[in-house]
Structure 1
Amino acid sequence: MNKTNKPNKPYVALVTGASRGAGKGIALALAATGATVYVTGRTQHEGDAPLPGTVHATAIEIDKLGGKGIALTCDHADDQQVAEVFDYIQHNSGRLDILVNNATALHDELIRPAPFWENPLDLVNILDVGLRSAYVASWHAAPLMAERGDGLIAFTSSFGASCYMHGAAYGAQKAGVDKFAKDMAVDLKPYGVAAVSIWMGMLQTERTARVIAEHPEQYAGFSELAETPQFTGRLIDALYRDPLRQEKSGLVLVGAELAREYGITELDGRQPPSHRAALGGPVQAHPAIVA
């Protein structure tokens, strides 16, 4: 049984880094509820990036699903552009209910099996767009939510926060956003705003489709285990509507495990597995608070 029973009224959400991949899928899932979904991204025209997808195309798909899609071109490495996004949302919607911090600088050499010093130094940019950018976006979102006494800030993370996955920079970014959720939840608690980090499993995205096409023998059986990005979006929707949402604030959640709690499956009925046994589980925050 789905434990969520918050009224099914449209909300206002922002999903960062939504031209493609996890961000796009999450935005589309939120759109299916009738939400107003702001999406940010750098890609304005097809062909500008090595992978398909644009922020405007995502907004159009949001509209087709019954939501209201609003595309905002933004480079999350530029604090001024980020500030303008939140000014626009405040001016046009007057509120923000959900922020999904997903924008991440994923280098094309990310999955190249080599020691970190033999990979391009640019892989460390994930600590700028991916970690610092999530802090900046949350800094802007928090007062909008705190003023209304309601809201959810969600960080997209992965098992790479626990085990070795794609090298040191990737792991540090994932561990970093997990800590953001833990610590921001402390500050947000008096205002009724929740913060969580969600570990996604292997994802069916444009990037993974390209990798599978290049190395099909390494990814046999991938589709049976992989999650759609929409799956995480449906979890975020359910979490926002959960009347006991605050009990999960500050937690690092394994998406597949949260789905079982909420009775959520993929649209085809599959229940994506948790990889906790193989890759480790999240470490939750110690209850001590040192001001």
Structure 2
Amino acid sequence: PVAVVTGASRGAGAGIAHALGAHGCIVYVTGRTVESDGTVRGTIGETAEKVSAAGGVGIAAPVDHADDEQVEAFFERVGREQGRIDILVNNAAIIRDEMMGRTKFWEEPINVIDTLNVGLRSSYVATVYAAPLMVPHGKGLVVFTSSSGSVHYAFGPAYGVPKAGVDKMAADMAFDFKDTGIAAVSIWMGSLLTDRVRAIVASNPEKFGHILDTAETPELTGHVIWEL
């Protein structure tokens, strides 16, 4: 099976790609982080290596999902190399640290709302270019990574609005995909044990330690996607 996981240099995307690799998938790993600068952990190359080590074939593909031309060129590449896509996971998103604090939206920089560009709009664009590689084969799965923050307050509007948006996008795309054999779903992930979350817990175990009681591994959603 051929899978594309966007925004997979680290976090949920990296875990999903890793899990799909364990199921033998060819996984294209997209993202902007090609080299680590020492302050950010995780690159698309490192994720691709984990995919291959797990039993799949990991392919690192540098893509800025804010650039439609780069996205179009990437899917053209997948078409040339594989001829189809079986699983598309729309996970790329700009998550700024300022958005994740306990501040009011007017106290945050305006650019936290860039989630509407890389997060919501980018998922639409990726699916537009992926669909022609799925429809002719009569089967496929389009996944949007979301959370329950789409229906309750989590980290403010810059977080919740794009989550609600991809939920609706999945529903409307599923309607258009009717009779094609392609399904579109939005998966609500729980708290994830990403490197970022582990660092937050380690910074104040007394305050944040409870997260460990219910947190999921980043790979869990990948296994759910495989079962779907």
TM-score (norm 1): 0.77
> Is 1:56 aligned to 2:45, yes or no?
yes
> Is 1:115 aligned to 2:112, yes or no?
no
Query: Which structure's CA Rg is the greater one?
Result: 1
| SS of residue matched to 1:19 | coil
> Given the alignment, which residue of 61, 64, 67 partners 2:56?
67
Regions of 4+ moved over 3 Å:
none
Q: Counterpart of 2:215?
A: 226
Deviation, structure 1 residue 210: 2.2
Quick one: which amino acid aligns to residue 76 of structure 1? H
Whole-angstrom CA distance in 1 between matches of 2:64 and 2:35: 15
Residues 223-262 of structure 1 mapped to structure 2, 5 A cutoff: 223-239=212-228
Q: Equivalent pairs: percent with the same residue? A: 52
> Is 1:202 aligned to 2:191, yes or no?
yes
| SS of residue matched to 1:198 | strand
Q: Counterpart of 2:113?
A: 124
Whole-angstrom CA distance in 2 between matches of 1:101 and 1:210: 25
Contact 2:143–2:186, Cα closer than 8 Å, also in 1 = yes
> Is 1:183 aligned to 2:147, yes or no?
no
Q: Counterpart of 2:30?
A: 40
Quick one: which amino acid aligns to residue 72 of structure 2? A
Segments of 5+ residues of structure 1 without an aligned counterpart are 1-10, 240-291
| SS of residue matched to 1:139 | helix
Contact 2:75–2:129, Cα closer than 8 Å, also in 1 = yes
> Given the alignment, which residue of 5, 27, 32 partners 1:15?
5
Aligned residues: 228
Contact 1:51–1:206, Cα closer than 8 Å, also in 2 = no
Q: Counterpart of 2:16?
A: 26
Quick one: which amino acid aligns to residue 191 of structure 1? T
> Given the alignment, which residue of 56, 61, 74 partners 1:85?
74
| SS of residue matched to 1:18 | coil
Quick one: which amino acid aligns to residue 60 of structure 2? A
Whole-angstrom CA distance in 2 between matches of 1:198 and 1:209: 22
Deviation, structure 1 residue 189: 1.1
| SS of residue matched to 2:37 | coil
| Larger CA deviation: 216-225 vs 71-80 | 216-225
Segments of 5+ residues of structure 2 without an aligned counterpart are none
Deviation, structure 1 residue 173: 0.4
Contact 1:51–1:207, Cα closer than 8 Å, also in 2 = no
Deviation, structure 1 residue 218: 1.9
Whole-angstrom CA distance in 2 between matches of 1:45 and 1:64: 20
Which structure shows the bigger proportion of residues in helix conformation? 2
Whole-angstrom CA distance in 2 between matches of 1:231 and 1:17: 17
Contact 2:99–2:158, Cα closer than 8 Å, also in 1 = no
Whole-angstrom CA distance in 2 between matches of 1:58 and 1:213: 24
| SS of residue matched to 2:123 | helix
| SS of residue matched to 2:114 | helix
Quick one: which amino acid aligns to residue 7 of structure 2? G
Whole-angstrom CA distance in 2 between matches of 1:177 and 1:130: 8
Whole-angstrom CA distance in 2 between matches of 1:188 and 1:72: 27
Whole-angstrom CA distance in 2 between matches of 1:178 and 1:21: 20
Tell me the C-alpha RMSD between the 2 structures.
1.0
Deviation, structure 1 residue 224: 2.1
Whole-angstrom CA distance in 1 between matches of 2:157 and 2:211: 24
